[in-house]
Amino acid sequence: VIFDVIGKSSFSSCIGSLNKNGIYLIANPKMVLINREKRAAKKSDKKYISGNNDTTKERTEQLKFLKELIEAGKIKSVIDRHYPLEKTAEAHSYVEKGEKTGNVVINLEEYL
Domain total of the chain: 2
Do residue 14 and residue 47 come from a single domain? yes
Domain with 7, as residue range(s), is: 2-71
Do residue 93 and residue 42 come from a single domain? no
Task: Report pLDDT for 85.
Answer: 94
Helix (H, G, I), strand (E, B) or coil at 28: coil
Q: Do residues 81 and 95 make contact, with C-beta atoms less than 8 angstroms apart? A: no
Is the per-residue pLDDT at 32 higher than 70?
Answer: no
Do residue 25 and residue 56 come from a single domain? yes
Do residue 45 and residue 20 come from a single domain? yes
Task: Report pLDDT for 77.
Answer: 80
Is the per-residue pLDDT at 111 higher than 90?
Answer: no
CA distances from 111 to 13, 20, 98 (A): 41, 45, 29
Do residue 84 and residue 63 come from a single domain? no
- Tell me the average pLDDT across 41-45: 80
Helix (H, G, I), strand (E, B) or coil at 78: coil
What ranges make up the beta strands (E) of the chain?
2-4, 23-26, 47-50, 79-84, 103-107
CB-based contacts of 21, cutoff 8 Å, min separation 6: 45, 46, 47
